[in-house]
């Protein structure tokens, strides 16, 4: 999670190089947050996929951003509700996928990805065109040429 108190700020400069000083538990937590934010991985936000005309919300979820950085149990019900509401009215995300039919499986899958990005916003940056890439790859997150 993001820093919640100043004591979580990890040491820098001379404080960091002081070998006689150990990091406090708060600083360790802050250091883990900094290190996690220095990683850059390209992966689906939630891992949903359209297959056989239905939405499979878990097909690639094990390798998704949300499962990697915001595991089950770390997202509150109020956050889930807020993200679902925001993704239904987002001015850009899923605009094309939901333009003609809000019940379309492509729209549903896109909104699941939007919700996953919202639920783990400290780590996941949604890329609106990823849904198009997924569609072009036969509606799968597998690498293809």
pTM above 0.75, yes or no: no
Which residue did the predictor score with more confidence, 52 or 41? 52
What is the chain written as a DSSP string? ----SGGGSPP-HHHHH-TT-PPPHHHHHHHHHHHHHH------SS--EEETTEEETTTTGGGSHHHHHS-TTSS-HHHHHHHHHHHHH-SSTTTTTTSS-TTSHHHHHHHHHHHHHHHTTTT----TTHHHHHHHTTS--S---
Per-residue pLDDT tens over the stretch 42-53: 788 888 878 788
Chain segment 84-117, per-residue pLDDT in tens: 999 888 877 888 888 888 888 888 888 888 899 9
């Amino acid at each position: 999670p993001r820093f919640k108190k100043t004591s979580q700020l990890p040491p820098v400069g001379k404080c960091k190089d002081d070998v006689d000083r150990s990091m406090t538990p708060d600083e360790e937590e802050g250091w883990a947050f900094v290190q996690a934010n220095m990683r850059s991985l390209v992966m689906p936000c939630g891992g949903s996929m359209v297959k056989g005309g239905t939405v499979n919300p878990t097909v690639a979820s094990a390798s998704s951003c949300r499962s990697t950085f915001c595991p089950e149990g770390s997202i509150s019900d109020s956050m889930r509700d807020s993200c679902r509401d925001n993704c239904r009215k987002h001015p850009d995300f899923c605009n094309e996928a939901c333009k003609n039919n809000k019940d379309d499986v492509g729209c549903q899958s896109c909104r699941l990805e939007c919700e996953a990005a919202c639920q783990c916003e400290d780590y996941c940056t949604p890329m609106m065109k990823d849904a198009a890439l997924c569609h072009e790859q036969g509606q799968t997150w597998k690498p293809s040429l």
